[in-house]
Amino acid sequence: MDLREATLADAETVIKMLFSFAASSPYTNLVDFYRIGQLVGSFIIDEDKLAVICEDKGMLLGLTLPFLWGTKRTATEMAWWVEPPHRKSGVGTELIGYFHVWAEQKGCAAITLTSLDNSVNKLYDRLGFKLCEQTYIKEI
């Protein structure tokens, strides 16, 4: 697959995918689309952040930071998206694999992934991830 770290030339493609991600999420009313544009550049440029893209098929944004309750670094996925026509084609597995290698290179002790629904549970299980906690949201 044509998987690589995104460059500033890819920002528009990443932003479009994030718009699709946001539109399918329960966060729609919380999303500031202008802010998405601002953030994408930081994921492309900052060495503690990652923007990986598989051309027009999918993308993943992640970052490293110290674990909240300790000192070891963790790699946290902030958003990942595979365009609907490319789902179940291996793109998601490749994106997560790239993220895993990047996290190891950054010296991370753990990786966290999220999901909007249960559609990726089998993938996460197959890749060795364990369910740790769940998030609930209520708009106020």
Q: Do residues 73 and 66 make contact, with C-beta atoms less than 8 angstroms apart?
A: yes
Q: Do residues 30 and 71 make contact, with C-beta atoms less than 8 angstroms apart?
A: no
* CA 58 vs CA 52, 128, 130: distances in Å: 9, 21, 23
**Following CA atoms 34, 37, 39, 45 in sequence, which dihedral angle do they give, to the nearest 10 degrees?**
-150
Please write the tens of the pLDDT for every residue from 94-120: 999 999 999 999 999 999 999 888 889
**Strand 110-112 and strand 73-82: pairing?**
parallel
The rounded distance, in Å, linking the Cα atoms of 11 and 38 is 10
The stretch 113-130 carries a mean pLDDT of: 91
Give the number of other CB atoms < 10 A from CB of residue 99. 21
Edge-to-edge strand order for the sheet containing 58-66? 4-5, 49-54, 58-66, 73-82, 110-112
Please write the tens of the pLDDT for every residue from 32-91: 888 888 899 999 999 999 999 998 899 999 999 999 899 999 999 999 999 999 999 999
Residue 135, pLDDT > 90, answer: no
The rounded distance, in Å, linking the Cα atoms of 99 and 77 is 8
What is the reported pTM? 0.91
Residue 134, pLDDT > 80, answer: yes
Give the number of other CB atoms < 10 A from CB of residue 94. 19
